[in-house]
Structure 1
């Protein structure tokens, strides 16, 4: 066995694919989410957990003692973040802090991967790199900037091994049609089946 991985948000679009990838390389994988998905690989040990419940998060980390933690639990829709900004901040920031705090006390040497977003960057028509200004104009983007700032704080103050990425759009099989590309695909499929001309909504 290569090591123990704990994935928060395993029932989401990325979580299922990532869990399967880890399993294929021989890792022991535990997956947490509020509810289980049928798309999770059979080799994954699922543990129900609400990331906003600090007691639950601490219990999961204490029982599994992972070498690696991946934080995929998030409100990840920009449009939804405008409807529920408080919930977006709670899940994306408070939830991540629950992971940091529990890991700090139980497994301080574990490596933690935090998934940020290109939404953190200031809007621009020009190519950007990691040095580009962070100045989001959405609640989702602001929550990810805040998440990343806390990661920096915990690295500097406690020496924790927390890694942040700012992922750009990704899509594929199993992604919810709340997101733009699956929405377009669904609409095109419906139009093709009905064999009539209609406008595709954005």
Structure 2
């Protein structure tokens, strides 16, 4: 039993890889290092550098490593940027998923855990999102993730694919001192980089229809998310019944303003963030129930907000510069 993690050299993917390895499950990584880092892949885990759009590399990786299931994390994940780069977003997230599914079908690999997103919901007309909440994505990124879910659904009918899609919310924190979020677009990396450079952090929008005017999100710890990927893979390996989609949500909303307060507490640096314009494609509020995932995938919030921010800050300070 060997699982391929596409995007396994990235921040989230590397946590997933380590969770598999720590539970004794063989794993291999495919990543083109467009946003990942070879140094995030733990020693002893096979690493193939390549893009999921490259059919030959995908097929050879699956075959040479006797892969039996795939955790598909690779993709272009920036909702705001996707509004300016829709064709690139669809190529990476839709065509890339199609190429991967084609190669899996050719080699009779019938298990996939798919990295989806809360972006499929857009701005939901409900205080608490469930898996049945209507989907209305507001960015090419969200649309591409929803199409990915459709591809898996249709491949189940056509070829017997066994699958589940995990809809991520806002992932923060770190489980290891040498792995941290290096995204140039995510909130905490931007805030930390500003503080370390002696600049004032900037947030996007303070005029949303929320209690403090900043976006309200569902912040979850990356290590908790990784453990639920392993749980999903184990259920697929065992042939257990599994839902086609799960929300990995906390059930509680936290505003960007509250995140800023936690950053001040953790870092000991007093600041008042500058307020920039809203980012295109950002909904005002999105908070989800994680009840189904708690029932089936050992999903639970094991960290407080301060603990999540603290782990991210410590990893940012302590980690060596990632190798390209």
Following TM superposition, by how much is the alpha carbon of 1:130 offset from its aligned partner in structure 2, in angstroms? Answer: 0.4
Higher-RCO chain (CA-CA 8 Å, sequence separation at least 6) = 2
d(CA) in 1 for partners of 2:270, 2:94: 45
Give the TM-score normalised by the residue count of structure 2: 0.57
The CA distance in 2 between the partners of 1:197 and 1:97, in whole Å, is: 46
TM-score, normalised by the number of residues in structure 1? 0.89
Q: Quick check: 1:73 aligned with 2:71?
A: no
Match among 156, 173, 182 for residue 189 of structure 2 = 182
Distance across 1 between alignment mates of 2:41 and 2:63: 22
| Count, aligned residues | 198
Task: Report whether the alignment pairs 1:200 with 2:201.
Answer: no
Aligned pairs (5 A) from 1:150-161: 150-161=151-162
Match of 1:167 in 2: 168
Shift of 1:156: 1.1
Q: Is 1:7 the counterpart of 2:5 in the alignment?
A: yes
Which range is displaced more, 178-187 or 139-148?
Answer: 178-187
Change (3 A) 1:127 1:158: same
Partner of 2:103: 102
Runs of 4+, deviation exceeding 4 Å = 195-199
The answer for the alignment partner of 2:86 in structure 1 is 85
Task: Please give the alpha-carbon distance, in whole angstroms, between the structure 2 residues aligned to 1:30 and 1:123.
Answer: 36
For residues 201 and 103 of structure 1, what CA distance do their matches in structure 2 show?
46
Aligned 8 A contact 1:65 1:107 in 2: no
| Deviation at residue 120 of structure 1 after TM alignment | 0.1
Identify the range of structure 1 (173-182 vs 46-55) with the bigger mean alpha-carbon deviation: 173-182
Instruction: Quote the RMSD (CA, aligned, Å).
Output: 2.1
Displacement of 1:104: 0.8
Separation in 2, partners of 1:18, 1:108: 20
Q: Does 1:24 align with 2:15?
A: no
Aligned pairs for 1:28-43 within 5 A: 28-35=26-33, 36-43=37-44
- CA shift at 1:108, angstroms? 3.4
Indicate the residue corresponding to 2:302 in structure 1. Answer: none
Aligned to 2:167, the other structure's residue is in SS state strand
CA contact (8 A) 1:122 1:133 kept: no
Distance between the aligned counterparts of 2:123 and 2:29, measured in 1?
34
- 1:199 shift after superposition: 4.2
> Cα distance 1:68–1:101, how it changes in 2: closer, same or farther (>3 A)?
same
Give unmatched runs, 5+ long, in structure 2: 175-179, 201-266, 277-324
After TM superposition, the structure 1 stretch with the greater mean CA deviation from structure 2, 136-145 or 176-185, is 176-185
